[in-house]
Amino acid sequence: MAQEIKLRLKARSDEEYRKGLPLVYKDRIENLADLKEEGAIFRLADSRNKFIGKGYYGLQNKGCGWILTRDEQEVIDQGFFEKKLQKALKHRESFFNSSDTTAFRVFNGEGDGIGGLTIDYFAGYYLLTWYSEGIYRFKEEILQSLRNLADFKGIYEKKRFDAKGSYMEDDDFVEGERGEFPLIVKENGENFAIYLNDGAMTGVFLDQRDVRKTIRDVYAKGRTVLNTFSYTGAFSIFAAKGGAVKTTSVDLANRSKSKTIEQFSINGIDYEAKDIIVEDVFNYFKYAVRKKLLFDMVILDPPSFARSKKHTFSASKDYKNLLKEAIAITEKDGIIVASTNCSTFGMSKFKGFIEAAFKESGGKYKLLEEFSLPKDFRTISEFKEGNYLKVAFIRKLS
């Protein structure tokens, strides 16, 4: 085992790390220059040299590493990773036992004790997502843990960091059997077509499972539904299954159309009876106003940040205006499902956007229900940004 690198906090950071912050930020460290090679194990002490924790150096879009243990004696070796994974698998037992849902998150980064790594399960296949070169250095230990603990058909991986050298974008296969794609998985009885070997995204965002179920079981019946930023149309599928009279899916990406057709088809829904539109949502809002279109349900699930030809959208700045556009084309008594995965603000600020949007639109509303991440996306209270999902079901009263 390589030697541990001693890191020291700046005095103003002692408190937050003593309280349990797991992510190490560059600007909190006194002797950053001592960190040289990603994957190195560090021993972090506060400004008075009192032990805080041990972790690994890894450069992510935020932070430069994660604390893995606060026990000074604990060794970070293969057994360490196996213990974390074993605990994580145990937490998902009810998911493994379900025949209704065969896709879920098995390991959620710092929520399961190892920041920078997520593992998802798709009907017999595991997908590992590495968020830094640093955690990727532990690939063999983590794979060995998975081999020891789980039965699988195959393992795939995604690298969410700049991999230098020989990384082939088009092959994320790791070991076991290669999958045949699309792989059909189930979520609460409905089907999803999943691709583990086709770029960064798989075809479904698993964190919206409870929201999709609620749309299907509680709100969709008899409603006309507009699904904006629709990607592969996952919300539209659940709306249609719940008895929506019509769904309209709008996404800017060309590939969203064939992907949405595929999702409808594998669920036995006639996609020709559905509107699937490739367009900038902001243009579509203008079109809908011009044509006096109104919907009984409008779903908003934009990316935190997006740039199209004419618009730049940033959730923290522009969500209120997005809501105003939605309010303008929602029927009285209609439902707006407002969702964001932006980690830079919390639920109370999000509710502030909703309040301001209705106020500026001169309308009234009622907040019906709220969602955050589902159970399999475990989070810890010491790292609020990890609990990024915020969803509000809102009734437009006037």
Cα distance from N-terminal residue to C-terminal residue, the chain: 65
Comparing CB distances to ligand SAH, the nearer of 114 and 338 is 338
Comparing CB distances to ligand SAH, the nearer of 45 and 329 is 329
* Site membership for ligand SAH, residue 276 (CB under 6 A): no
Q: Work out whether strand 246-251 and strand 173-176 pair parallel, antiparallel, or are unpaired.
A: unpaired
Q: How far apart are CA 11 and CA 48, in angstroms?
A: 8
Q: How far apart are CA 313 and CA 141, in angstroms?
A: 40
* Site membership for ligand SAH, residue 363 (CB under 6 A): no
* Site membership for ligand SAH, residue 231 (CB under 6 A): yes
Supply angle C-alpha 110, 23, 59, rounded to 5. Answer: 100
Quote the least distance from Cβ 329 to ligand SAH, whole Å. 15
* Site membership for ligand SAH, residue 285 (CB under 6 A): no
Contacting ligand SAH (CB under 6 A), which of 183, 237, 240, 252?
252
Query: HSE of 356 in the Cβ direction (CA atoms, 13 Å)?
Result: 12
State CA 24 to chain mean position distance. Answer: 21
Comparing CB distances to ligand SAH, the nearer of 256 and 379 is 256
* Site membership for ligand SAH, residue 306 (CB under 6 A): yes
Contacting ligand SAH (CB under 6 A), which of 120, 251, 296, 325?
251
Quote the least distance from Cβ 387 to ligand SAH, whole Å. 18
* Site membership for ligand SAH, residue 187 (CB under 6 A): no
Backbone angles phi, psi at 369, to 5 degrees: -155, 160
Comparing CB distances to ligand SAH, the nearer of 104 and 136 is 104
Contacting ligand SAH (CB under 6 A), which of 205, 285, 353, 383?
205
Supply angle C-alpha 377, 381, 385, rounded to 5. Answer: 70
Quote the least distance from Cβ 260 to ligand SAH, whole Å. 10
The 309-348 site mask, x for binding ligand SAH (CB under 6 A), equals --x-------------------------------------
Contacting ligand SAH (CB under 6 A), which of 256, 260, 267, 330?
256
Q: What token pair was written down for 189?
A: 């009885």
Q: How far apart are CA 9 and CA 29, in angstroms?
A: 5
* Site membership for ligand SAH, residue 253 (CB under 6 A): yes
Binding part of the chain for ligand SAH, among 52-60, 181-189, 278-286, 369-377 by CB under 6 A, reads 278-286
Quote the least distance from Cβ 344 to ligand SAH, whole Å. 17
Which residues fall within 8 angstroms of residue 339, CB to CB, at 6 or more apart?
208, 211, 299, 300, 301, 389, 390, 391, 392
H or E segment at 392?
A: strand 390-396
Binding part of the chain for ligand SAH, among 19-27, 230-238, 328-336, 387-395 by CB under 6 A, reads 230-238
Strand extents, DSSP E, 220-264: 224-228, 246-251
Comparing CB distances to ligand SAH, the nearer of 92 and 212 is 212
Q: Which of residues 286-305 bind ligand SAH (CB under 6 A)?
A: 301, 303
Q: How far apart are CA 165 and CA 163, in angstroms?
A: 7
Give me the DSSP letters along 205-228. -GGGHHHHHHIIIII-TT-EEEEE
Quote the least distance from Cβ 234 to ligand SAH, whole Å. 4
Residue 124, helix vs strand vs coil:
coil
Q: How far apart are CA 314 and CA 341, in angstroms?
A: 11
Contacting ligand SAH (CB under 6 A), which of 117, 193, 234, 337?
234
* Site membership for ligand SAH, residue 308 (CB under 6 A): yes
User: Residues 125, 153: contact at Cβ < 8 Å?
Assistant: yes
Quote the least distance from Cβ 287 to ligand SAH, whole Å. 12
Q: Helices 78-91 and 139-149 meet at what angle, rounded to 10?
A: 50
* Site membership for ligand SAH, residue 200 (CB under 6 A): no
Quote the least distance from Cβ 185 to ligand SAH, whole Å. 14
User: Residues 274, 247: contact at Cβ < 8 Å?
Assistant: yes
Residue 100, helix vs strand vs coil:
coil
Binding part of the chain for ligand SAH, among 115-123, 171-179, 279-287, 289-297 by CB under 6 A, reads 279-287
**Contact residues for ligand SAH, defined by CB under 6 A:** 205, 208, 229-232, 234-235, 251-253, 256, 280-282, 301, 303, 306, 308, 311
